[in-house]
Amino acid sequence: MSEQVSGAVRHPLTGVATALASAAAFATSGAFGKSLLVGGWSPGAVVTMRIALAAGVLLGPALWSLRGRWGALRRNGWLVVGYGLTGVAGCQLAYFNAVTHLSVGVALLLEYLAPVLIVGWLWARHRQRPRRLTTIGVALAVAGLLLVLDVLDGGSVSAVGVMWGLGAAVCLVLYFLLADHVGDDLPPLALAGGGLLVGALSLGLAGWVGVLRMTRGAQQVPLGGVVVPWWVPVLVIALVAAAFAYVAGIAAVRLLGAKVASFVALTEVLFAVLFAWLVLAELPTLVQLFGGVLIVAGLVAVRADEARQPEPQGSEQILARPVPTP
């Protein structure tokens, strides 16, 4: 433990750079994945390809991290399965369904409401009344949500897309709640690799039995003003936005700690808007951008309130964990 702390003190810039690299890598998924959706590929097919490839890449490192400690995997088996079904398969499937109806930035902002939902759950379930700063953060996030959805001006935002985006947020909440109960004896790489494997198998089974639509689209898809083979965006969302992003995120947590790394992870929203603009020429309206700023400010307030307290115990650890994104 002391070795990790001293490493974080000696190399804070390395930790921040690693966390930013992870956030930027995660942010590529929306823009590059949407190019496949525009080309006629179904969300189920896109997510399954992404997760399956990432699982194959991380399988070796995950097994190496266990080094024969199969007991830790058995003790946390159901939690790994739950993480794979919700935090990996469910969250990504809901997110990619959302971006078929909404802009990449708006869909991601809806998913990022998960910490706000967790505050409500802790209040309702454990009677943990939010402190003043957390309450302010929730109010800012809700106000930002109204602007993002363009409710005040009577704008037309796809209700189906909003439901999928909120579904991604609920899956992210379930991830947090499950991850809070995973034992410390299970290495993070094993959790990530195991979750990706479970997610890939569950989506593949759902597609095989016909529950999940697996539509193959065009061989050539539009990307950044040019037309490229379909496998180009697939490799980006699988290798960059999944395998590399997860590993870099884990390294960032080790260098900075979960609280600081989770703050830096919020920059994913900014990176996602940037990539959507560069790759898809897609940019939210000024009102939606301002709403996004309010949502991020609200999340920062919630995280800052948690960080002011001593090392969290029990259910308070939930909000201190880094956000795993699509």
Mean pLDDT of the residues in the chain: 81
For 228, the enclosing helix (H) or strand (E) is strand 226-229
Side-chain half-sphere CA neighbours of 320 within 13 A: 18
Handedness of CA 93, 94, 98, 104 (dihedral sign): negative
- The rounded distance, in Å, linking the Cα atoms of 307 and 264 is 13
Quickly list DSSP for 64-89.
Answer: HHHTT-HHHHHHTHHHHHHHIIIIII
pLDDT tens, position by position, 234-293: 999 999 998 898 888 878 877 877 666 767 777 888 888 888 888 888 877 788 788 888
* Residue 143 one-letter amino acid: A
Helix (H, G, I), strand (E, B) or coil at 227: strand
What's the pTM value of the predicted model, to 2 decimals?
0.80
User: 226: which strand partners?
Assistant: 223
Helix (H, G, I), strand (E, B) or coil at 308: coil
Contact 85, 198 (CB under 8 A): yes
Cα diameter, the chain: 58
pLDDT tens, position by position, 113-160: 877 787 777 777 767 777 788 788 888 888 888 777 765 555 557 889
